[in-house]
Amino acid sequence: MVNMVERLREVKLSPEEEQKREICVRHEEEVLLFCKDDGKNQIVSETQHVQAKFNQMRGNLDYEEQKEQLKLRKEEANILYKLTDAENVLVQQSQLVRALISDVEHSLQGSTTEMPRKTWEEVSVTEI
């Protein structure tokens, strides 16, 4: 602790040395590592740079979002097309099944004597 106090005393400038300090011509302040206004300008510049980067990133995100939405809309349209096509195929198959059912019902409405004879003839032919 005593050493620290001694060092501080050594570092403390005499009034003559204090007068030798330079004054910034532009800001009329004591010259520091950088002038206060320069620091403010640097902060403003850095803030603007950060804001510009964020705006660029937002723009990129907006672009990517639009690209993905377009991709999803195309995929949705493709799926709807396939569903519509599959539905049309099912409608055609349903109509075909109805026609077959109608044919079978029509055949069953024929005379009962014809059915067994027809069946018997079919069995006889297939067995021979």
Residue 25 confidence (pLDDT) above 60: yes
HSE at residue 1, side-chain half, CA atoms within 13 A, is 0
pLDDT tens for each residue of 79-98: 999 999 999 999 999 999 99
Share of the chain above pLDDT 90, in %: 46
User: What is the mean pLDDT of the segment spanning 112-116?
Assistant: 53
Structure tokens at 22: 């330079």
HSE at residue 125, side-chain half, CA atoms within 13 A, is 6
Of residues 22 and 70, more confidently modeled:
70
Buried-exposed string 61-84: b where 16+ CB fall within 10 A, e elsewhere: eeeeeeeeeeeeeeeeeeeeeeee
Q: Which residue has the tokens 């800001």?
A: 27
In Å, how far from its chain's centre is CA 83?
A: 25
Q: What is the pLDDT of residue 43?
A: 84
Among the listed residues 22, 41, 42, 40, the one whose alpha carbon sits nearest the alpha carbon of residue 32:
22
pTM above 0.75, yes or no: no
pLDDT tens for each residue of 29-72: 676 655 666 667 778 889 999 999 999 999 999 999 999 999 99
Buried-exposed string 24-58: b where 16+ CB fall within 10 A, e elsewhere: eeeeeeeeeeebeeeeeeeeeeeeeeeeeeeeeee
DSSP code of residue 128: -
DSSP code of residue 13: P
